[in-house]
Amino acid sequence: MKRICEARLRSSVVLCAASLLMGAAAASADPGIPPEVPVKGMVTMVDLGANSCVPCKMMAPILEKLQKEYEGRAAIVVIDVWKDKSQVKKYGIRAIPTQIFYDKEGKETYRHTGFLSENAIKTQLKLLGVQ
């Protein structure tokens, strides 16, 4: 069963990547994006995905939970690259979802493409000093 799920996730990432490259919706600024990403002086995790992407949908409740859990200690920023295509070029995205972690100084420390579990996200945040 695990292999089937992993294969589905891999194919979903490929489908999301293909859709991303082909284009989906008109670009528009996402009002939920903080004006400065990474957030100055704060560990930041940016998740770049889309509402129609299967692994992105799977991550949505995890990211919502973590946004609340880490409020004030780390910034968890979700960007829908189908709503704002300028973010694709800005972050050098080739497939979605892509997660980028930044330290407090704004330096990229880790980048991952595909589904990322809650535990894996927490591990990266802990490595960056977030308790």
Which residues are catalytic, by number? 53, 56
Whether residue 45 contacts residue 73, with contact meaning beta carbons closer than 8 Å, is answered with no
Amino acid identity, residue 95?
A
Asked if 80 and 30 touch (Cβ cutoff 8 Å), the reply is yes
